[in-house]
Structure 1
Amino acid sequence: MYRIPVPYLKLTEDFKIINVSQSVTHIFYPVTSFLDLVDLDSRAKLKQIKTTPSPGVMELNLKTTDSPTTLFTVYFHYQQKEKLIHLVCMNETSAFQHVQLEFQQWRKQLENNEWNEVVTTNLEPDTSFEFYKKQAERKITTINDLLGIIQDDLSEVGKLEYIKLIQSELKDIKELLRSK
């Protein structure tokens, strides 16, 4: 199992670690119980593995050697007869950081009045500042509407804070647009 190329853990049904792949030793601190790696807010979700149809997927915040809280997608298989749990943990932070970086780049472009970089249109070119401003505000409204659609799904998996962060960033961008 040590040679499995992804973060894999084999646990007892009370979350004691039996075996791990090599990559686990680079990502997580050495502990005897997987619960010691799980953020307090994610522990109740983890314990649902025993009552959730298996195999399954869930998102958990785990403690890594690099960060006190890192988002992981956890693929699990609970073998009730053998009283074993198999986990594969995939780090999702880089995807979130990519979105966050893109928002920061948009904000800088808007602050520098680089509208052509942020707002694209298939209409006849109207280079007026007001046109680009209205287009940007419309796109922000569309993004907020789309976030509203997925809000319940993210709330169910305990990730509502990401939508709040995105909405906050969009609100800041909209305020920048109105101040120009």
Structure 2
Amino acid sequence: MNDVLLTPDMLPFPYFMVDRELNILLQTDCVKHKFPIAHNFLELVDASSREKIIDDFTKLDSIHKLELHLHTRKKKAALFEIYIHCQSSNQIHLFCIDKESQMESFQTQVSGLECNFINVTHSLLEEKIMLEQSIEQLQQSVIEHENLATVGKLAASIAHEIRNPLTSVRGFVQLLRPHLLEIGKEHYADVAISELDRANDIIYEFLNTSKPSAPTLEQVSIVSVVEEVMLLCQSESLLNNCYFEYRRPDNDIWLCIDPKQIKQVLLNLIHNAMDAVKESVNRNHGVIMIDIRHLHSRVEIVIADNGSGINQENMQKIFAPFYTTKKKGTGVGLAVCQRIIEDHNGKIDVHSQLGRGTSFTITLPCLTSIN
């Protein structure tokens, strides 16, 4: 599915972003077809309405609306309904609806936006899942104290880049909701706002990565956990021309672990194995071998691939936070895995041969509590 981004140019009416002095910072393409060229919004306001807008902007607070006569390219002042949304101390959003001619056209356009709202909702859900996975990884990355400053900068950067556009989109949806209500489609706005709020909650959790959570332990079958992860990865493995070679133990094995965190480790290692296969000469017939071994008081889970392998220089750094050889990697995945396994009183080892493949071995204690 292609992501659908809600942008001002998708709105069926003129939109301006202005500062507190009403200087125009941004405007949609339809503005140039509707209004004469102007650098300040007051240049478009008819003399009969200027006093009203000046008075209103001196007491501007959050969201409200007013009616103004604006000059158009037809050299005639038309009556517009102006929706005003104050996002910050220096950014004000103005949505201009021509009461005389555009309401019918607007409702037609809203119908066309229904599909976009549905796609935006699905897109936000996918982004939410990705952000949740990033949160779980980044919560563990603070194990290296010298990287705490880097984590803080990364968190601030992502929060700034994601939260601000989400706030703008939420404002657009809120302003469109009354018109959706008129045609009985307000539930699309409600769903979009709900998903945006959930995304903001995820970002809030992301900003608290300096407080990694301890494992929530319960007795679970490690065989069931491994098989559930394999099922989740089955379709992706087929798309990447990989197949699983699974060696199941004769008897079930019960461990005292946090199943959510262990699943995170297994998913990360399997995805890494798929990436390694895609980069190797075996990319058309990749194999990911998963072996569960019961060795007295401990269990070993081996995840091996016939991918590109890792050279000795990189082998010394792969568990270091923020170290990665992938173009789009963050370098926190394996550091997170190591932290989780160590929190379970276990260990994770790696063996690799360049051009032949890589093998990760996770060792966990059987039915022991973690202090």
Q: Which has the higher strand share?
A: 2
Q: Which has the higher helix share?
A: 1
Report the TM-score, using the length of structure 1 for normalisation: 0.48
Report the TM-score, using the length of structure 2 for normalisation: 0.24
